[in-house]
Amino acid sequence: MKIKLLIFIFTFFSFGFLSSQTTESLKKEADSLFYGQNYKKAIELYTQLILKQPKNYENYYDRANCYLYSKHYNKAIDDINKGLGLNPSLYYKSSFYNLKGYCFYYKDEFLRATEFLTKHIELNYDSYDSYLMRGDCLYRQKKHLEAISDFRYALKNPEIKNEDASVAIASIGFCFLDEGKVVSARKISDSLKTINGGYYRGKFLEGQISIAEKKYTDAISIFKFLYIKDSSYTEMIEKIGICYYYMGKYDSAIVNYKKALLFDSKSSYLNNQISWNYFLNKEFKTALPFANKAILLDSKSGAAYDTRGCVHYKLNNYIQAISDFNQSIKNDSTTLNSYYYRGWCYYKTNQKQLACKDWFKIKSFTPLEGEEPVSLLLSKYCNK
């Protein structure tokens, strides 16, 4: 009986020791796979660790990180919520909030991203990279003064790297530019060119300033220069396309947007821009498949539905056009172009009252060149 008891004790503790060793080696292997960017395999191992240690919030954090890097943002958020529910340490609580902020950022949900980055900053106020990220979120929400405050706070951190510092300074310049403060933006651009690691960001900001000043030829030269210096900087091709669009050179705009699409085939924005330029070129049937693709890639885009609605209107598909304009306005009620053309669709389908209702909503709207002014439509069709 004593021998059996000793065997039991030896077996129990040996099993516990081996199990602990297995867990430790599994963690090391999973971490190694993560740092080697083999996220799929790392997720499998972190999942095994979670099954072995369901109360260990660190494993949920590690797996969430893998999901973030492999662009499975909703799965990452699920793991973050589970980890937060396990009463993590202050460090991990802060890290979970930071990770959650990044997930919402990459989902283009900038308000939610700001919320969780703020929670992270409240627990870890020395984290300058979080100020940079929150500043970017605020910038994308057009909260420029708040964004500038975050970028400036990040710049005060003595540990900030040159690369990050140039990002912060350039971002302040873009805030000024969006606020119409071109002189201030140009000062930022000039200062960036003298900072280590800031020259090309300064040139890019200069290109954007040239667009704002309607100096499109200058902007094209700058963006071409930047692309020649670094062909991986493919956003420059898109910017060149924008310049040609503003110049009314729609064929050249389409050529450049299509070049950009080769590097970013899943861009709803680029597909929509190509469609819109074909529309302006009066190539309506050619425009349609690009509009369809833009909507397929981003069903929440008001601009893509507006473009397709315009194309259907010109092809006399008024019922389909109305449906697209309805969705465009639902996604983005500020798309005034949709009200203008939906009004025309209503008028052409003998729904005059609805047509006038749409046109009354946009009395001060200026339609595309060649289209009848809203004031004329109201006087011709709605004041009788």
Looking at residue 196, its pLDDT comes to 80
Q: Does 187 score more than 50 pLDDT?
A: yes
Looking at residue 377, its pLDDT comes to 95
Environment class of 2 (CB within 10 Å of its CB; exposed 0-12, middle 13-18, buried 19+): exposed
Distance from chain centroid for Cα 222:
24
Q: And the tokens for 38?
A: 């083999």
Output 196 or 327, whichever has higher pLDDT: 327
Q: Give the CA distances from residue 251 to residues 88, 211, 246, 280, 291, in Å, rounded to whole numbers and listed in that order.
A: 57, 19, 12, 10, 17
For the chain, which domains are there?
Answer: 271-384 (1.25.40.10)
Output 125 or 95, whichever has higher pLDDT: 95
For range 333-362, the mean pLDDT: 96
From CA 135, how far away is CA 151, in angstroms rounded?
6
Among candidate residues 314, 235, 320, 237, the one with its CA nearest the CA of residue 281: 314
From CA 25, how far away is CA 248, in angstroms rounded?
62
Looking at residue 232, its pLDDT comes to 83
Looking at residue 230, its pLDDT comes to 87
Residues contacting 215, CB < 8 A, separation 6+ = none
From CA 331, how far away is CA 237, in angstroms rounded?
28
Compute the residue count for the chain: 384
Among candidate residues 98, 151, 104, 143, the one with its CA nearest the CA of residue 122: 98
For range 65-71, the mean pLDDT: 95
From CA 117, how far away is CA 150, in angstroms rounded?
12
Residues contacting 156, CB < 8 A, separation 6+ = none
Q: How wide is the angle at C-alpha 276 spanned by C-alphas 140 and 356, nearest 5°?
A: 90
C-beta separation of 303 from 279 below 8 A: no
pLDDT classification of 9: cutoffs 50, 70, 90: very low
Q: And the tokens for 102?
A: 């990044």
C-beta separation of 222 from 206 below 8 A: yes
C-beta separation of 341 from 325 below 8 A: yes
C-beta separation of 81 from 97 below 8 A: no
For range 174-199, the mean pLDDT: 92
Side-chain half-sphere of 201: how many Cα atoms within 13 Å? 22
pLDDT classification of 197: cutoffs 50, 70, 90: confident
Looking at residue 97, its pLDDT comes to 96
Q: Does 179 score more than 50 pLDDT?
A: yes
Helix 235-246, helix 250-263: angle, nearest 10: 160
- The string of DSSP letters for 51-69 reads HH-TT-HHHHHHHHHHHHH
pLDDT classification of 23: cutoffs 50, 70, 90: confident
From CA 118, how far away is CA 60, in angstroms rounded?
21
Environment class of 251 (CB within 10 Å of its CB; exposed 0-12, middle 13-18, buried 19+): exposed
